[in-house]
Structure 1
């Protein structure tokens, strides 16, 4: 039959089509294997991608380092030598005056005069009708603004441990970098005698928070139930201007809302629904209530801190007219922080300030510079160039080390980054080694990140750190809470902070350390592995094809 040769030819060709289809499938599998090679190399294996930060210091690191000053004092350096090291090029001057400290804010103010005194409608001069109001020892009054004036309501006599401690946060910076509009005229004078006489012995380990009990801040009392705004009856005196609480001579004033007692006067001002309490106090009494370093530290360290704090406060007053009582400015706790060591340092350095170019210097300081102080650009991200605030090594072995492991997923969440971060890179560093420019490396595109923002968002103690990527066996704890202010800027804060998620330096806990990201060397390795995979797959495909086609190779179509 004529059709038989055609059918035979067709039947002989069918195995060729099946063989070609199978060969295409093998080649596609090979290509898929090659494409997967870089992914397999880049992906973490059985772990969580993390960053490890090894850091030093606490705070911005600009200017005086409190723990560094302590080390220098222990080595025999006096206060003048410590100040010359941290503020080179400054001169000695003399200045004084009153400082105004914002201490509390809320819908009303509750206060008392422990030794008695009076309330005035003006600090001095003529008074409004019903003023001054005499107050007995411990008598409590509440002051609020009713929309047309300031009303006073008597609240009886309470024990002075009653109060609701509320941290007052100033809404603006102290603007110490800006040249003050008016500056007290400093008078050049020789450095004061820095020998304050006998000093209390330091605590055995010298740590912050280990001071004698009489130096500890007053503990806040339990928060009382909210009180309704006091009724303004006809007997309630009204003042059209802010009210002043003035103690008897040598007496003190107490802010029940803040939970603290102060020297000087209290001014209650502001407006309806936003009452502010400010402490007007002489600079020397203000310095007695500082809570920056323990009074039991070596005398030279406490004196150097006192000079820096005096200069800082007077410059802030010249520029902004007031100063806050928290780490955003200087930590001021009032009478509760007075001690023999602190009082001696204030007396030994009375009036001593630092100047530069005839104006008060910007005497920034922090808890610890980590062995090397920072420039203004490194510490604050500012473009200001201040010659007397250089980056320079400290003569100390106590660098206050710390470390932190954080997952890259937490880094992305804290920084609000939508992509998957694969690395964090330091692109530029300042003279101390602190980062000036950083980049988030991600599958959604690289993005620069400000080192100061990186520190704040992750709650880090400083920007003095190195970064290493790796893989941990399990997810580390979340990073510390973000910080809005420099909450670790004092020696007092260091001991408390060391109990938090950012731990003192310890042995590494990374389970497996892997490359932070693929490098050219990684690409070369991937290419080599890929070529081996391709060659092996092609060899297998050739062998399979040869075996499959052998029965048909010598037959005619």
Structure 2
């Protein structure tokens, strides 16, 4: 068998602690009867315990499967590259190219967004769903005053809007956010407008939410999505970007030679927003599902310079804005898709260029809801970059079922930084223990390794010598001869199998997993 994703080869012992379960109808009772059936099916002379997880011994006459599972606390070390989906621009890579290679924003954009051209976006507004405010009425004020239902609202006076089924809203204006009611009305225009709707207005004119005093440029309003309330911010595109770029990139990059990376980020974010069309009531949203947007409180002069110096610049294809996706770190190679996959040498500056994480077998099994883990393997990759590229498909087998998932789904379920990962050799599991030294309490002077711990002249010892002793496929002994339950016979375990003896069978070599079915267990 080829090397598995777990990094273990068939034919080596499975030194992780394992349990087994039996699938199929119950077999005839009795140790000897079961062992006879196993022998008759050709389990002897040697069936090596497969080190690859998921080894199955088929007991065809009874319809049973004996499957080995990995103990839930067995650790597996996953090694990966990058942080995020890897499509389009890598933000750390853009910073690396700007800082270390002196690339301008236009060159950075051309590198990551192949097949696009730079275009110009006319003055535009954008509507943003504020998802944290879902299912809540709108409570808002401004230090400079506001306008609602065609009426002025004084500085510090709060407007409370509740949407109505006809597309309008009920309005209550109070002295402060929780003061006395000053007036009430209904309106078919469910918006609170600032005193001046022009873009790039001073901070005292921004509208603020009563909850937390979070400020926003432009107007704030309410809408119904079915029966649920939504809060929407409508504002000029570049006003919006003033709150996006510092939330999506590091403004401090401008202080260390990365200003052009921020300019590239502004163009990418403007392009992405221009291509959005999420809901009837809102073109985009304010979370990672769209682009992170924090209102005007998150603005920074360094990212504001990036927005203003690229005013109107967008990426286009066929004269249409392009959804210019980006992620934190590509790990050294972009993922391909809408834009051609390219090497990302700038990403070497990323703190997540390479990473490792340790998960247990229980973590993996629980994430995919497959019971006790038998195997976890990557079955397809995209072939871009080292290690075969990003994972595009995984298969997880457990005691209660099998699950297949995309790499993105595996990343989400396992909470990984990216879908570009491998399971390294060793998996964080201790190396196989060395065969035990001969125990003087079990051996007489002059005994060799073939007979240590074995009753002199026993059928088990003779069988072991017949097969070639320590040089046989069984390997070295890992314990003394022991009695079977009810004194039905004896057995001895070796690195790659077990010899068992009963009066009816004589000495036979079997897979140790078969033996475990009849021996008492003490945990996993």
3-state DSSP class of the match of 1:395? helix
The Cα of 1:324 is off from its aligned counterpart by: 0.3
3-state DSSP class of the match of 2:276? helix
After superposition, the C-alpha distances for 1:144-184 in whole angstroms (9 at most, x for unaligned) are: 246676222223225xxx9xxxxxxxxxxxxxxxxxxxxxx
3-state DSSP class of the match of 1:81? helix
After superposition, the C-alpha distances for 1:444-499 in whole angstroms (9 at most, x for unaligned) are: 5654222222111122221011114757xxxxxxxxxxxxxxxxxxxxxxxxxxxx
Match of 1:102 in 2: 129
Matched ranges for 1:428-443 at <5 A: 428-432=380-384, 433-443=389-399
**1:403 corresponds to 2:369:** no
How far apart are the structure 2 equivalents of 1:335 and 1:532? 69
Q: Structure 1: any 5+ residue segments left out of the alignment?
A: 1-23, 121-131, 163-226, 377-385, 472-508, 515-523, 543-557
**1:156 corresponds to 2:175:** yes
**Equivalent position to 1:269, from 211, 217, 223:** 223
How far apart are the structure 2 equivalents of 1:299 and 1:39? 59
3-state DSSP class of the match of 2:184? coil
Matched ranges for 1:385-404 at <5 A: 386=338, 388-399=339-350, 400=352, 401-404=354-357
Alignment root-mean-square deviation, CA: 4.0
Match of 1:340 in 2: 301
1:141/1:323 CA distance change after superposition, 3 Å: same
After superposition, the C-alpha distances for 1:212-265 in whole angstroms (9 at most, x for unaligned) are: xxxxxxxxxxxxxxx9xx99x9x5211244233333463211233475211111
3-state DSSP class of the match of 1:267? strand
Matched ranges for 1:452-491 at <5 A: 452-468=408-424
The Cα of 1:86 is off from its aligned counterpart by: 0.4
Matched ranges for 1:62-461 at <5 A: 62-75=87-100, 76-96=102-122, 97-103=124-130, 104-120=133-149, 132-145=150-163, 150-157=169-176, 236-248=184-196, 250=201, 251-257=205-211, 259-270=213-224, 274-290=228-244, 291-297=247-253, 298-317=258-277, 322-376=283-337, 386=338, 388-399=339-350, 400=352, 401-417=354-370, 419-432=371-384, 433-443=389-399, 446-461=402-417
The Cα of 1:397 is off from its aligned counterpart by: 1.7
The Cα of 1:119 is off from its aligned counterpart by: 0.8
Aligned partners of 2:48 and 2:496 also within 8 Å:
no
TM-score by length of 2: 0.63
Specify which structure has the higher proportion of helix.
1
Specify which structure has the higher proportion of strand.
2
The Cα of 1:344 is off from its aligned counterpart by: 0.9
3-state DSSP class of the match of 1:460? coil
Q: Structure 2: any 5+ residue segments left out of the alignment?
A: 1-31, 54-67, 434-471, 477-493, 508-524
After superposition, the C-alpha distances for 1:415-456 in whole angstroms (9 at most, x for unaligned) are: 122x42222111111032001121113355654222222111
3-state DSSP class of the match of 1:68? helix
How far apart are the structure 1 equivalents of 2:309 and 2:377? 48
1:423/1:272 CA distance change after superposition, 3 Å: closer
3-state DSSP class of the match of 2:238? helix
1:453/1:526 CA distance change after superposition, 3 Å: farther
The Cα of 1:391 is off from its aligned counterpart by: 4.2
How far apart are the structure 1 equivalents of 2:111 and 2:45? 59
The Cα of 1:102 is off from its aligned counterpart by: 0.9
